[in-house]
Amino acid sequence: VKAVWFADGAVEVRDVPDPAPDSGDALVRVTRAGICGTDLALLEGYADFSGIPGHEFVGVVEQCPNEPDWEGRRVTAEINVGCGRCSWCERGVREHCEARAVVGLRGRPGAFASHVTVPVANLHPIPDGLEDDQAVFAEPMAAAFEILEQINIEPATRVAVVGDGKLGLVITMVLSFAGHRPTVFGRHSGKLELASHFGGLQPGDSGNDAFDVVIEATGRSSGIADALRRVRPRGTVVLKTTLPQSVDVDLTRVVVDEIRLVGSRCGPFPRALEALGSGRLEPKVLVEGVYPLSRAVDAFEHARSPGALKVLLDPSR
Amino acid sequence: VKAVWFADGAVEVRDVPDPAPDSGDALVRVTRAGICGTDLALLEGYADFSGIPGHEFVGVVEQCPNEPDWEGRRVTAEINVGCGRCSWCERGVREHCEARAVVGLRGRPGAFASHVTVPVANLHPIPDGLEDDQAVFAEPMAAAFEILEQINIEPATRVAVVGDGKLGLVITMVLSFAGHRPTVFGRHSGKLELASHFGGLQPGDSGNDAFDVVIEATGRSSGIADALRRVRPRGTVVLKTTLPQSVDVDLTRVVVDEIRLVGSRCGPFPRALEALGSGRLEPKVLVEGVYPLSRAVDAFEHARSPGALKVLLDPSR
């Protein structure tokens, strides 16, 4: 089968052996896959990755030996594959299993390929009528919903999103869906307009600069300083950016103003799919292009270009 | 009157004009004052400080025009002096008032002097029978109790304290007082023995390295990395260290493992004084020396020496 291959900072499309699902796995024919900021970070050296990336995807189950009812169904899947035995896995929190593999990120081939295997336990059916170009946002939207699982946002809570890239905009969409009105800070007027379209406020609308909650989604090492500048004493900064290197942080500001920093990663797929299924969310307006797998090199070039929003791959072509 | 004076990294004892209390102030004759890590940081350039430092103290009220009942009473005092008008001050949280002065740290002369003035509202009476050498720990003990105001520690919570200096040991004492058994990490066997005396556990006793809560009290820029190494996924790191410079932090670890960092500063004096008044705490075993004010230069030299614990000044001499 054809697959995207990352090695030493370069992208190529190559033939790889057919995936061989284990007994607990499903073999999924991928119909859409999204290029994420983390994929671009992998290319820059994050996590010393080489292999097949891709962790946001939609497809159709082709084989599922243990639970054949899944065969033929349209699915997306959670990407953390736990050991199944540790205390995290026992509580169903496989995303923190120390021995976990992560599809397209660690120890398991990803979805930038015609087929991918994932454990049956990771599958989620896609609501009828939800098109692939929306459903492919389930993973990043789940990551955005994670914020609402971690911290308490009340109607009166003043929330800011720092970063108007694709993750910042997905977070804006999810917060608005949950009834909040985040103020969005970014550097691109077109994207800030999109943020408004999704229910975000412009900085000028919101009165002052001291927010109760600031969500850092810039993807840049300068993001934390931006976020700390905008949070009030005893406020909370939610961190979403992963970077290949450590970052200089004014921890004295954190101590003196008793700020809370909360790292935030993967989230609840059911909540994301329910929100997408409601029809009230339109993440596909973020899609700037859909490339056949054979043109993956161009797709990554597009995704890496300054200010690019969502770029999808269509591995059927 | 005589006072310690910091300027350009140097310590001297000089004559200063008599303090002139405002109408809402009390004039306190200082009987004991403690040298804190923050005072040493001021000498290194933290907060661009010059003037009279000193924010841990005990004394006797000599004048209190507005509330003369205080005159003659033995007191300690909270150090944050708010504007009295902002929303923080309205809620009684003057330690986060943006316009606050802080005794011995910002905009108000400190207690390394024969006399200090503080607002009457900041005074706390010292329980009868509690000696000055214990009561002078009210401020750092309040800062340790702040941790218990900020985060929830259950009986089963596995807690570590990173740092066996005076702050780490005071925190150990307070956590033990509250019924917890923190594991204490440090570099000095003598201090780790003190930690055990205060109810702390040795690292060897505690099984493994992944703590639910890690309290960073090293006073060093390497402390955050130490703390992150010892906390479990989704665990909490409480930050107590203030430094003159920013610090390199592995924020990707924070994001991937969804760790919470909580900055922690000043705390509740009533809780600290109640604990001290119970007689169950003996912070004075941390006192390595009591110097007359005239020998303040020697006192600071002692306090700065590697591994030093608490050094007190006696401004009556």
Between chains, do A96 and B257 touch, taking CB under 8 Å as contact? yes
What is the Cα gyration radius of chain A? 19
Element (H, E) at A314: strand A310-314
> How would you class A15 by CB atoms within 10 Å of its CB: exposed for 0-12, middle for 13-18, buried for 19 or more?
exposed
For B269-282, the pLDDT digits (tens) are: 999 999 999 999 99
A80, A254, A259, A265: best to mutate for the B interface, most B CBs within 10 A: A254
Between chains, do B249 and A249 touch, taking CB under 8 Å as contact? yes
Between chains, do B251 and A249 touch, taking CB under 8 Å as contact? yes
pLDDT of residue B145: 98
Between chains, do A250 and B251 touch, taking CB under 8 Å as contact? no
Between chains, do A251 and B96 touch, taking CB under 8 Å as contact? no
Q: Which amino acid is at A146?
A: E
Residues above pLDDT 90, as percent of chain B: 91
Between chains, do B258 and A96 touch, taking CB under 8 Å as contact? yes
With beta carbons less than 8 A apart as the criterion, state whether B198 and B176 touch.
Answer: yes
**Encoded tokens for B116:** 């200090």
Comparing CB atoms, the residue among A241, A246, A255 nearest residue B263 is A255
pLDDT of residue B208: 59
Comparing CB atoms, the residue among B98, B241, B264 nearest residue A258 is B264
Comparing CB atoms, the residue among A98, A240, A247 nearest residue B249 is A247
Between chains, do B255 and A248 touch, taking CB under 8 Å as contact? no
**How far, in Å, CA of A31 to CA of A54, rounded?**
12
Q: What stretches of chain B adopt beta strand conformation (E)?
A: 2-7, 10-15, 25-35, 57-63, 74-77, 80-81, 101-103, 107-108, 115-119, 123-125, 159-162, 183-185, 211-216, 231-239, 247-249, 260-263, 287-292, 310-314
Q: Which amino acid is at B218?
A: T
Q: How far is CA B287 from the centre of its chain?
A: 14
Contacts with B99 from chain A: Cβ below 8 Å: none
Query: Which of B111, B116, B136, B198 shows the shortest CA–CA distance to B161?
Result: B198
For A169-194, the pLDDT digits (tens) are: 999 999 999 999 999 999 888 999 99
Mean pLDDT of all residues in B155-166: 95
pLDDT of residue A205: 65
**Which residue has tokens 């800030």?**
A192
What average pLDDT does chain B have? 95
**Encoded tokens for A241:** 């950016």
In sequence order, the 6+-apart residues with CB closer than 8 A to the CB of A272 are A137, A138, A139, A141, A142, A144, A145, A174
Does the pLDDT at position B207 exceed 70?
no
Between chains, do A255 and B233 touch, taking CB under 8 Å as contact? no
Prediction ipTM score: 0.95
Between chains, do B256 and A234 touch, taking CB under 8 Å as contact? no
**Encoded tokens for B45:** 């350039």
Query: Which of A315, A308, A306, A312 shows the shortest CA–CA distance to A290?
Result: A312
Contacts with A250 from chain B: Cβ below 8 Å: 246
pLDDT of residue A206: 60
Q: What does the DSSP assignment read for B259-291? A: -EEEE-----HHHHHHHHHTT---GGGGEEEEE
- State how far residue A250 is from chain B, nearest Cα, in angstroms: 4
Q: Enumerate chain B positions whose Cβ falls within 8 A of a Cβ in A.
A: 46, 88, 96, 98, 150, 224, 233-234, 239-244, 246-265
Contacts with B88 from chain A: Cβ below 8 Å: 233
Contacts with A96 from chain B: Cβ below 8 Å: 233-234, 257-258
Contacts with B239 from chain A: Cβ below 8 Å: 251, 254-255
Between chains, do A264 and B255 touch, taking CB under 8 Å as contact? yes
**How far, in Å, CA of A167 to CA of A34, rounded?**
12
Does the pLDDT at position A15 exceed 60?
yes
**How far, in Å, CA of A47 to CA of A298, rounded?**
23
Between chains, do B258 and A46 touch, taking CB under 8 Å as contact? no
Interface A:B, Cβ pairs < 8 A: 106
Q: Enumerate chain A positions whose Cβ falls within 8 A of a Cβ in B.
A: 46, 88, 96, 98, 150, 224, 233-234, 239-244, 246-265
DSSP class of residue B202 equals P
Query: Which of B249, B262, B268 shows the shortest CA–CA distance to B212?
Result: B262
pLDDT of residue A208: 59
- pTM reported for the whole predicted model: 0.95
**How far, in Å, CA of A122 to CA of B255, rounded?**
22
**How far, in Å, CA of B9 to CA of B42, rounded?**
8
Query: Which of A130, A133, A176, A146 shows the shortest CA–CA distance to A78?
Result: A146
Angle at B290 between CA B285 and CA B291, to 5 degrees: 165
Mean pLDDT of all residues in B258-269: 98
pLDDT of residue A150: 98
Comparing CB atoms, the residue among B241, B254, B265 nearest residue A258 is B265
What average pLDDT does chain A have? 95
Number of neighbouring beta carbons within 10 Å of residue B183: 23
Comparing CB atoms, the residue among A241, A249, A257 nearest residue B247 is A249
Query: Which of A123, A120, A107, A176 shows the shortest CA–CA distance to A145?
Result: A176
Between chains, do B241 and A256 touch, taking CB under 8 Å as contact? no
Does the pLDDT at position A167 exceed 70?
yes
Does the pLDDT at position B166 exceed 70?
yes
Comparing CB atoms, the residue among A96, A241, A253 nearest residue B234 is A96
With beta carbons less than 8 A apart as the criterion, state whether B28 and B75 touch.
Answer: yes
Beta bridge partners of residue B101, listed in sequence order: B81
pLDDT of residue A304: 95
Contacts with B242 from chain A: Cβ below 8 Å: 251-252, 255-256
**How far, in Å, CA of A10 to CA of B307, rounded?**
51
Between chains, do A239 and B250 touch, taking CB under 8 Å as contact? no
**How far, in Å, CA of A148 to CA of A145, rounded?**
5
Angle at A143 between CA B227 and CA A219, to 5 degrees: 70
- State how far residue A221 is from chain B, nearest Cα, in angstroms: 9
Across A197-215, b (16+ Cβ under 10 Å) vs e yields ebbbbeeeebeeeebbbbb
Between chains, do B249 and A252 touch, taking CB under 8 Å as contact? no
For B118-154, the pLDDT digits (tens) are: 999 999 999 999 999 999 999 999 999 999 999 999 9
B100, B228, B254: best to mutate for the A interface, most A CBs within 10 A: B254
